[in-house]
Amino acid sequence: MNQPVDAFWMPFTPNRRFKAAPRLLVSARGVRYTAADGREVLDGISGLWCVGAGHGHPRIREAMKAQMDTLDFASNFQVGHPGAFALAERIADLAPEGLDRVFLVNSGSEACDTALKIALAYWQAVGQGQRNLFVGRERGFHGTGFGGISVGGMTLNRRAFGGAMLRSDHLRSTWDPANQAFVRGQPQTGAEFADELETRILALHGANNIAAVVVEPVAGSTGLLIPPLGYLQRLREICDRHGLLLIFDEVITGFGRFGDMFASQALGVVPDMILFAKTVSNGAAPLGGVIVHRRIHDALMQGPEFLAELMHGYTCSGHPLACAAGLAMLETLEQEQLIARVRSLTPVLENAVHGLASLPGVVSVRNLGLAAGVELAVKDGQPGLRGAMAQAAAFDFGVLTRAPGDTLILAPPFVSEPEEIHQMVARLASAIESTF
């Protein structure tokens, strides 16, 4: 393929290296991509944690085509279209009890910034506007908006933009290699890492200055860090004791990946807001949102009735095509019982990836739901180098993966066959071996 590649400044990509040897994907069906050179590449990462129902799903394709023929665009500013209302109702039905108001956006980053703004507006509305400090967590990822990088804890995502952050502090990450390196499911140790919220952060800043605590229930973008048993429960208890809002970023965990509709349900802790994106539309259209507890929403329904209660939104918030994709995806999850399928595939992936523990240079294997991380020893004192090599090699061996740092991630589509998961893991093993 003779596609010029200079003009497109690629996101989160080493542009110079990519453009020296482009890896282009030209089509996809089910769990397979086809590369520009005609090779088949198994989709080991569901596109980018999005394509749970597999690529080109007929129900989603048809729904989007029908929407295109009926209503290509209508804004949701002062007018509306039925799809956005229908999608929000459906999501509210699926969410934990009490969380039943849905603000629609186009991405996980927008969802994060939206949630932080709702939190600030809420505290102003209830007469506690001094609460404007956010608590995130080291190694957390909440997208790339200024709010998201402020509460996020990925050092490289913050460094170049340090002057423009919201007021924030960060919990330590839950990662504890001495005790969690080779664990199946949730680690038994580490619940006490949550206590730092009370003993250090609240002690330092004062609970009544804090707007919200923002964490991913399972951290994906820094190499699949799984919450220790009891950790999220303790965070919830501390937030309740001090009246803090707890926000879960479910951008990768939402809509089935961990064996329930939301990780909040899978792990048994209900936050005050849930951020979502990715799987909600099966990746077929940009779509995200914030599910808000009704009491927060209701507190903001005040002021003159001719004015918007929240001065916030995006031109494409609740875009008709995205809503059509979202509704079709939610129907697909239900009709094809894909969440039950995630549960039945979980031990298949778990057993297969833990089989890689004996490969030389593998320093950790961890998994939860239909996601797994295989961490490799740092090469030449340069963190991330071996991960990048292994990710490129995996593509050549025919499996698409992600490598945050030196951890290779597998998060296969929910529709994968057990045999396909074995193939993905086998190709990953070849890629790992090629880097030593």
Cα(306)–Cα(78) distance, integer angstroms: 11
| 53 or 277: CB nearest ligand PLP | 277
Using CB under 6 A as the binding rule, whether residue 108 contacts ligand PLP is answered as yes
Residues contacting 46, CB < 8 A, separation 6+? 52, 279, 283, 411, 412, 413
Angle between helices 385-397 and 418-433 (to 10 degrees): 130
Q: What are the residues whose beta carbons fall under 8 Å from the beta carbon of 382, sequence distance 6 or more?
A: none
Closest residue to ligand PLP, judged by C-beta, is 108
Q: Give counts: helices (H), strands (E), the chain.
A: 17, 15
In order of 2, 8, 411, 435, the CA distances from 356 in angstroms are 38, 37, 16, 14
Q: Is 113 in the site for ligand PLP (CB under 6 A)?
A: no
Give whichever of 108 and 398 is closer to ligand PLP, judged by the CB atom.
Answer: 108
In the complex, minimum distance from the CB of residue 287 to ligand PLP, in angstroms, rounded to a whole number: 9
Among the listed ranges 30-38, 125-133, 248-256, 399-407, the one in contact with ligand PLP (CB under 6 A) is 248-256
**Residue 291: its H or E element:** strand 288-293
Amino acid (1-letter code) at residue 160: A
CB closer to ligand PLP out of 108 and 228:
108
Q: Are 339 and 197 in contact (CB under 8 A)?
A: no
Binding range to ligand PLP, per CB under 6 A, among 138-146, 202-210, 230-238, 261-269 = 138-146
Residue 255 three-state SS: coil
Work out the burial of residue 138: count CB atoms within 10 Å of its CB; fewer than 13 is exposed, 13-18 middle, 19 or more buried: middle
Residue of 143, 223, 271, 326 interacting with ligand PLP (CB under 6 A): 143
How far is CA 221 from each of CA 64, 227, 299, 402, 424, rounded to the nearest angstrom?
A: 29, 14, 33, 9, 20
What is the footprint of ligand PLP within residues 360-389 (CB under 6 A)?
none
Tell me the two tokens of residue 159.
Answer: 């460094």
- State which of residues 251, 269, 400, 429 lies at the interface with ligand PLP (CB under 6 A): 251
Q: Is 107 in the site for ligand PLP (CB under 6 A)?
A: yes
Please tell me whether residue 43 binds ligand PLP under the rule CB under 6 A.
Answer: no
Closer residue to ligand PLP in complex, CB, 187/220: 220
Q: Whose structure tokens read 């066959």?
A: 417
Q: What is the rounded distance in angstroms from the CA atom of residue 225 to the CA atom of residue 221?
A: 9
**What length is written for the chain?**
436
Beta carbon of residue 117, minimum distance to ligand PLP (angstroms, whole number): 15
Mark 53-92 with x for binding to ligand PLP (rule: CB under 6 A) and - for no binding. ----------------------------------------
**Is there binding between residue 252 and ligand PLP (CB under 6 A)?**
yes
Site for ligand PLP (CB under 6 A): how many residues?
A: 14
Q: Does residue 221 bind ligand PLP (CB under 6 A)?
A: yes
Q: In angstroms, how far is CA 104 from the centroid of its own chain? A: 16
Q: How far is the CB of 57 from ligand PLP (least distance, A)?
A: 20
Give the residue with the Cβ less far from ligand PLP, 375 or 420. 375
Q: Which residues bind ligand PLP (CB under 6 A)?
A: 107-109, 112, 141-143, 216, 220-221, 249, 251-252, 277
